[in-house]
Amino acid sequence: MISVVTVNYKTIDYTIRMLESLFKYHKDEVEVFVVENDSGDDLTTLKKTFPQVKVIESFTNLGFAGGCNLGIDDAKGEYIVLVNPDILFDNDALYQIEREMNNAQAVGIGGVSLKNLDGSQQASVWSFPRPIDQLLLLLKVNHIAPNLAPLKRWLRKEFDYSRSQDVDQVMGAFFCIRRELLDQIGKLDDGFFIWYEEVDYCRRTVLAGWRVRYFKNISARHKRGSSFDKVATIEKQAILRKSIRRYMRKHHGPLAWVLFILGEPVFWCMSFVASLVKPK
């Protein structure tokens, strides 16, 4: 059985559309959890339309990782698939990834080919972050010199999305976790409010001896950023910097963490400039 967990935060319209597309192609052997993350959304229509969905209501906004963990706690499936509310299914992708994971027992995490709403390929595979590329990101160098070697390495600019292959990390919008992996390394780190929680989980997966795999023949459409459509850029940037600092401390040590702490005033100034250019 497959367990699907999605976190709703001011995305009820997206969540309902995602569920409509999911149940169009998946009828059996799928349990679905919707975690309402204290967003204030009215779930009446969702509950009436999809009585088979298990709704978990949190009275605190736990962030993406914390919300997912609530659903994971109740999940019974051999595979737990984290699905963003802004995903749209065009096929039986859940059954497909179950088959692929069954045939690849060393793979702990599976990701799929995510498409933009117009069907074009969406970037969804990256290398693990290093201090240098994250510094360049926070200094906004990626906007003026996107082809610098550290950025190209991290962003996998030349990644071949037409070929299934093992990778460092896949996007958390469609994120399949094997039960044995979950039992071994535990749940998502809810110290990441949002962003980098899936990067951290992929890193922990690889360190534990498992593989992360991108499956090119499985696809879904993805809008990106629906939960943060109305959040100001400067607020999003503050959350991003906090997540980067946590990741650096966990995987690159206290010296890297201190570097990002010391750089915070400069990073804030750069995010302020970015907020003037793009308020949301």
H-assigned helices in 4-130:
12-25, 44-49, 63-74, 93-102
Residues 206, 235: one domain? no
Digit-coded pLDDT (tens) for 145-171? 999 999 999 999 999 999 999 999 999
Residues 84, 8: one domain? yes
Residue 20's CATH number: 3.90.550.10
Q: What is the pLDDT of residue 234?
A: 80
Average pLDDT value for residue range 96-101: 98
Residues 135, 169: one domain? no
Residues 169, 240: one domain? no
Q: 10 Å Cβ neighbour count for 251?
A: 17
Closest CA to 109 of 90, 129, 124: 124
Angstrom distances, CA of residue 200 to CA of 131, 142, 147, 204, 246 = 14, 22, 25, 6, 9
Residues 133, 114: one domain? no
Average pLDDT value for residue range 261-276: 87
Digit-coded pLDDT (tens) for 113-123? 999 999 999 99
Query: Which region holds residue 122: left if phi is over 0, alpha if psi is between -120 and 50, else beta?
Result: beta
The domain total for the chain is: 2
Residues 219, 90: one domain? yes
Mark which of 207, 228, 249 sits at the end of a domain.
Answer: 228
Residue 208, SS3? coil
Residues 34, 144: one domain? no
Residues 241, 222: one domain? no
The whole-model pTM stands at 0.95
Work out the percent of the chain whose per-residue pLDDT is above 90.
Answer: 89
Q: What is the pLDDT of residue 10?
A: 93
Average pLDDT value for residue range 230-257: 91
Determine the Cα–Cα distance for residues 41 and 13; give it in Å rounded to an integer: 10
- At 229, the pLDDT band (50, 70, 90 cuts) reads low
Structure tokens at 221: 């459409």
- At 228, the pLDDT band (50, 70, 90 cuts) reads low
Q: 10 Å Cβ neighbour count for 219?
A: 21
Mark which of 199, 228, 257 sits at the end of a domain.
Answer: 228
Note down the domain range covering 28. 2-123+159-228
Digit-coded pLDDT (tens) for 8-31? 999 999 999 999 999 999 999 999
Residue 269, C-beta contacts closer than 8 angstroms, at least 6 positions apart: none
Residues 13, 134: one domain? no
Q: What is the pLDDT of residue 235?
A: 86
Residues 41, 101: one domain? yes
* Contact in structure between 9 and 227 (CB atoms under 8 Å): yes
Determine the Cα–Cα distance for residues 247 and 196; give it in Å rounded to an integer: 7
Residues 219, 179: one domain? yes
* Contact in structure between 95 and 1 (CB atoms under 8 Å): no
Residues 111, 168: one domain? yes
Q: Which residue's structure tokens are 């996107």?
A: 146
* Contact in structure between 86 and 222 (CB atoms under 8 Å): yes
Determine the Cα–Cα distance for residues 158 and 125; give it in Å rounded to an integer: 11
For residue 227, the 8-state DSSP code is G
